[in-house]
């Protein structure tokens, strides 16, 4: 139902891409999000990251500031990035399958010391099923023996400052992991060597402790989504898709207007019965409430069926 925008308008009014984080337990998903959020978690101010329920919003100004050292002159066309934290809350079992469909792009976190693990492969299968594009984060580079910390440095700069021995360790681990991905049917390559993005999945080495590679990750997420998903990201004034991320009680902030994509808290009676992973239906002036109720119940049943099966 999206109103048609001319190609020019479409480029100018993109919505924020939605990104989800997946990977094996202990790969560093939580730590990575914590690091990217930093300490300046303040609500609502321009340039500040907003931590929402089950989601974190990174405004474009913040991303621009943090990626300065990469000297990317590419314009940021998206207003920001919405990262859904599906790893740490109750809803993940329901959202695991839906989340990968709901997201425009996924981050698949792999521990460089451990390589691919069962849950990494499970995540890969979900991503393949939904045809969701993803970026591989090769986390914990600081655990390579002898790693010299370069806080928040772009990864190429950080790697250059390492000894030959550390660089060799890094290359060996990288080759092993690229081979493991190949065994699963995926071609992967370091992002700055990747000439066929889309066909070959990009790898960004990071440390969630000292921040090496984090600027690269933020920039790649934004650049890739705004380059390849313009149509999908075209802003529309109509409600498109809403999902319940988490049902809980909490303080609330009043919003006059919500622009996609955002995580919001809704306060209403009976919401304790809401189930994470189900859709949120909006009754428009021309809709029949009973029809919408029926659609919502169908959705609820399908999620309940899935829960029963797992
Ligand atoms: P999750 O289960 O994927 O969310 O993993 P966590 O974020 O909880 O991380 C698991 C453990 O690895 C924690 O003890 C983290 O402190 C540690 N960790 C995560 N990322 C890094 C990293 O980049 N470097 C190092 N040295 N430790 C990390």
The pLDDT tens digits of the residues spanning 29-69 come to: 888 988 888 744 444 545 555 555 567 888 888 888 888 88
Peptide bond connecting 88 to the previous residue in cis, omega within 30 degrees of 0: no
Protein residue whose Cα sits closest to atom 17 of ligand 1? 28
Distance from the alpha carbon of residue 70 to the mean position of ligand 1, in angstroms: 25
Minimum-distance ligand 1 atom for the alpha carbon of 140:
23
* Best residue among 24, 25, 26, 112 to mutate for probing ligand 1, ranked by most atoms within 8 Å of CB: 26
Q: pLDDT band at residue 309, thresholds of 50, 70 and 90?
A: low
Q: What distance in Å separates the CA atoms of residue 202 and residue 187, rounded to the nearest whole number?
A: 9
Output the six-digit token pair for 94: 């329901």
* Residues lining ligand 1, Cβ inside 6 A: 23, 25-31, 87, 139-140, 142-143, 207-209
Alpha helices in 191-236 (DSSP H): 214-228, 230-233
Alpha helices in 87-208 (DSSP H): 92-102, 118-130, 155-160, 164-183
Protein residue whose Cα sits closest to atom 11 of ligand 1? 26
Q: What distance in Å separates the CA atoms of residue 17 and residue 220, rounded to the nearest whole number?
A: 12
Distance from the alpha carbon of residue 26 to the mean position of ligand 1, in angstroms: 6
The pLDDT tens digits of the residues spanning 182-240 come to: 999 999 999 999 988 878 999 999 999 999 999 999 999 988 888 777 776 665 555 55
Distance from the alpha carbon of residue 32 to the mean position of ligand 1, in angstroms: 8
pLDDT at 100 exceeding the cut of 60: no
Percent of the chain predicted with pLDDT > 90: 32
The pLDDT tens digits of the residues spanning 7-17 come to: 444 445 677 88
Distance from the alpha carbon of residue 106 to the mean position of ligand 1, in angstroms: 18
* Best residue among 24, 25, 28, 36 to mutate for probing ligand 1, ranked by most atoms within 8 Å of CB: 28
Protein residue whose Cα sits closest to atom 22 of ligand 1? 140
Strand 105-111 relative to strand 133-139, pairing? parallel
């Amino acid at each position: 139902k999206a109103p048609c925008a001319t190609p020019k308008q479409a480029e100018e009014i993109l919505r924020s891409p939605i990104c989800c984080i997946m990977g094996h337990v202990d790969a560093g998903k939580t730590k990575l999000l914590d690091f990217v959020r930093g300490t300046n978690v303040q609500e609502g101010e321009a340039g500040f990251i907003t931590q929402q329920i089950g989601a974190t919003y990174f405004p474009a100004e913040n991303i621009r500031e943090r990626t300065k050292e990469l000297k990317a002159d590419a314009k940021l066309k998206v207003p920001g990035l919405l990262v859904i934290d599906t790893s740490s809350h109750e809803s993940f079992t329901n959202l695991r399958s839906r989340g990968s469909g709901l997201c425009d792009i996924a981050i698949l976190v792999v521990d460089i010391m451990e390589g691919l693990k069962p849950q990494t492969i499970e995540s890969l299968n979900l991503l393949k099923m939904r045809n969701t594009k993803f970026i591989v984060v090769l986390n914990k580079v600081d655990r390579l023996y002898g790693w010299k910390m370069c806080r928040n440095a772009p990864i190429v700069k950080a790697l250059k400052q390492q000894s030959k021995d550390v660089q060799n360790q890094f290359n060996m681990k990288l080759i092993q992991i690229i081979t493991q991905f190949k065994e699963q049917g995926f071609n992967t390559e370091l992002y700055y060597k990747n000439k066929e993005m889309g066909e070959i999945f990009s790898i960004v080495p990071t440390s969630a402790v000292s921040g090496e590679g984090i600027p690269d990750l933020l920039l790649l997420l934004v650049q890739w989504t705004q380059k390849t998903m313009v149509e999908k990201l075209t802003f529309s004034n109509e409600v498109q898709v809403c999902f319940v991320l988490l049902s809980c009680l909490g303080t609330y902030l009043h919003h006059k207007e919500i622009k996609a994509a955002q995580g919001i808290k809704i306060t209403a009676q009976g919401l304790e019965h809401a189930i994470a992973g189900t859709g949120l239906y909006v009754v428009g002036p021309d809709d029949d409430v009973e029809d919408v109720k029926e659609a919502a119940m169908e959705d609820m049943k399908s999620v309940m069926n899935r829960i029963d099966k797992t």
